[in-house]
Structure 1
Amino acid sequence: MSVKKGSSNPVKLKTIRPSGKTEESIFDLIYDIARQIPRGRVTSYGAIAKAIGSGKSARLVGWAMSGAGRVKPKVPAHRVVNSTGLLSGKLAFKTPTYMQELLEKEGVKVVNDKVLDFKTRFWDPVQELG
């Protein structure tokens, strides 16, 4: 998958062809980007939405992340936070503190459900993958 800076190409939804082959779904694109977030870094729902060419779809990215625990290969959904660094998706994890625990294992400090040094920890997929 290639993500272009400022891309506005429409994303293809998964369709099953008579051959049995499928095209990539929008969730697959979201998961592919999330898998590239480096350990110890975080990104936002909105940043991933921009990277797939749908900058107004942060909620769609959040919805995808809420189901990421059932996806293979694994998706590091704990590295995706809101635009201010808040762990707004923490309730999608097995316990309310598990998202923070995973981030802290990677060296990310979290206080009051918010990533400290969010600006320096932020990974911009448009910049990094573009």
Structure 2
Amino acid sequence: MAEFSDQVFDQVRRIPRGKVATYGQIARLVGRPRSARYVGFALHANPAPGSDAASIPCHRVVFKDGGLCRGFAFGGPEVQRAMLEEEGVAFADEEHVDMGACQWDPAEAAGGAPLAGASGEAVPTAPPPGFDWSRELGEL
């Protein structure tokens, strides 16, 4: 899992101040779209949490609905929220980031060009149009 964790850390380092990404988004960016939970496991063992340039800013990773992590390993959701607010992240309510305003778009950072994975193929950063989350998550 060390290689997976390193890939996760590399992607999380790319999230700019004032933006957030989801666990699933990071999983897709590392080429493991069904591994959002493992992204969380990797971040729980983050060797360098924080917001300075040498850190891995795991506080910038949230649930797909913008929810904060109740088990945020480095101080709880209150600390995660404070760190995000300090960076200018907007909140929709007490527990959810305003994803419309603050979700990171890696393609935007690449000048609108599609992101390429390790083998050069385009990496999806969002589900395709018409994607059925209920079916995907087995909530039928």
TM-score of the aligned structures, taking structure 1 as reference length: 0.72
For residue 62 of structure 1, the aligned residue among 24, 40, 43 is 40
**Consecutive unaligned residues in structure 2, runs of 5 or more:** 116-140
Cα deviation digits, residues 39-63 of structure 1 (max 9, x gap):
0000000001001111000000011
Instruction: Name the SS of the counterpart of 2:66 in structure 1.
Output: coil
For residue 71 of structure 1, the aligned residue among 48, 52, 67 is 48
2:90 touches 2:101 (CA, 8 Å); kept in 1?
Answer: no
For residue 68 of structure 2, the aligned residue among 66, 74, 87 is 87
1:33 aligns with 2:11: yes
- In the alignment, the residues of structure 2 paired with residue 74 and residue 65 of structure 1 have an alpha-carbon distance, to the nearest angstrom, of 12
1:101 aligns with 2:75: no
Which protein has greater RCO, CA pairs closer than 8 Å, 6+ apart?
1
Q: Which amino acid aligns with 1:113?
A: E
Runs of 4+ in structure 1 deviating by more than 6 angstroms, as ranges, are none
- In the alignment, the residues of structure 2 paired with residue 127 and residue 64 of structure 1 have an alpha-carbon distance, to the nearest angstrom, of 26
TM-score of the aligned structures, taking structure 2 as reference length: 0.67
2:21 touches 2:61 (CA, 8 Å); kept in 1?
Answer: yes
Instruction: Name the SS of the counterpart of 1:98 in structure 2.
Output: helix
What fraction of aligned residue pairs are identical, expressed as a percent?
Answer: 36
**Consecutive unaligned residues in structure 1, runs of 5 or more:** 1-12, 15-24
**Structure-2 change in CA distance of 1:83 and 1:95 (3 Å):** closer
For residue 97 of structure 2, the aligned residue among 104, 112, 115 is 115
Residue 88 of structure 1 and its aligned partner are, at CA, apart by: 2.0
**Structure-2 change in CA distance of 1:119 and 1:90 (3 Å):** farther
Match of 1:4 in 2: none
How large is the Cα RMSD of the aligned pairs? 2.1
1:46 touches 1:56 (CA, 8 Å); kept in 2?
Answer: yes
- In the alignment, the residues of structure 2 paired with residue 62 and residue 78 of structure 1 have an alpha-carbon distance, to the nearest angstrom, of 11
Match of 1:7 in 2: none
1:47 touches 1:125 (CA, 8 Å); kept in 2?
Answer: no
Give the length in aligned residue pairs: 106
